[in-house]
């Protein structure tokens, strides 16, 4: 099992009796990147002001069965109809999503773990875009690890290996050995005569 470290200041801040933890969410749309935070106020970090969605936004983990990878659902409420129209016009599938976890110490210094979750947007259904002029948008995203389930079209054959290295003869006789029974000699074979 591999481990990774978190920034020293973050570990110290998380060791205090009161921890202010929040997410930083980066949505990379074709029309521009949106920077959001679940903190109750806007957060300046990495020369960017991350807009607070506290009270109107949520990050939910999607539980999947078996050994599959988890995705996330980002919900934004009270989105005005002009922004909903922009969301409907955008092709979001495959666009990047980066989720970071951050903590603030008692002095207001922000420490960010930049390796929490990365993935690609999948769907963005609009919910309750009714007469009130506002609605909700849900962005579902799949983890980058889902690509591990995609079959690779590389075959372990002599022809495929020749494309990689024309002089490599490793797989040349592999097909003829596929159904061959190999009998290993017993211990009598190795005795000195």
List all residues 6 or more positions away from 91 whose beta carbon is below 8 Å from its beta carbon. Answer: 30
| pLDDT tens by residue, 138-164 | 888 988 877 777 777 777 788 888 888
Closest to 112 (Cα-Cα) out of 34, 25, 193: 25
Closest to 30 (Cα-Cα) out of 91, 104, 84: 91
Closest to 13 (Cα-Cα) out of 99, 113, 98, 100: 113
Over the chain, what is the mean pLDDT?
A: 80
Residues in the chain: 193
| pLDDT tens by residue, 27-46 | 998 888 989 998 889 999 99
Q: 12 pLDDT band (50/70/90 cuts)?
A: confident
Cα of 97 vs its chain's centroid, Å: 7
| CA pair distance 22, 10, nearest whole angstrom | 12
Supply the DSSP string of 118-149, one letter for each residue: EEEEEE--EE---TTSEEEEEEEEEEGGGGGG
Q: What is the pLDDT of residue 113?
A: 85
| pLDDT tens by residue, 88-129 | 788 889 999 999 989 888 778 888 887 788 899 998 888 765
pTM score: 0.69
Report the run of H or E that residue 51 belongs to, with start and end.
strand 48-52
| pLDDT tens by residue, 20-30 | 889 899 999 88
């Amino acid at each position: 099992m591999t481990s990774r470290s978190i920034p020293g200041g973050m570990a110290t801040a998380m060791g205090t009796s009161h921890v202010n933890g929040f997410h930083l969410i980066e949505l990379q749309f074709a029309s521009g990147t949106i920077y959001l935070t679940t903190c109750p106020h806007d957060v300046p970090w990495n020369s960017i002001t991350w807009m607070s969605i506290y009270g109107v936004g949520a990050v939910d983990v999607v539980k999947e069965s078996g050994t599959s990878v988890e995705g996330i659902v980002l919900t934004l409420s009270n989105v005005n109809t002009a922004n909903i129209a922009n969301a409907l016009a955008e092709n979001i599938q495959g666009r990047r999503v980066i989720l970071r976890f951050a903590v603030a110490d008692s002095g207001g210094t922000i420490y960010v773990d930049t390796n929490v979750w990365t993935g690609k947007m999948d769907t963005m259904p609009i919910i309750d875009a009714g007469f009130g002029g506002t609605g909700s948008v849900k962005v579902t995203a799949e983890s980058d690890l889902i690509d591990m389930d995609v079959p690779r079209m590389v075959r372990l054959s002599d022809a495929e290996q020749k494309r990689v290295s024309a002089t490599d003869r490793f797989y040349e006789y592999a097909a003829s050995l596929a159904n061959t029974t190999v009998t290993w000699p017993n211990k009598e074979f190795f005795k000195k005569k």
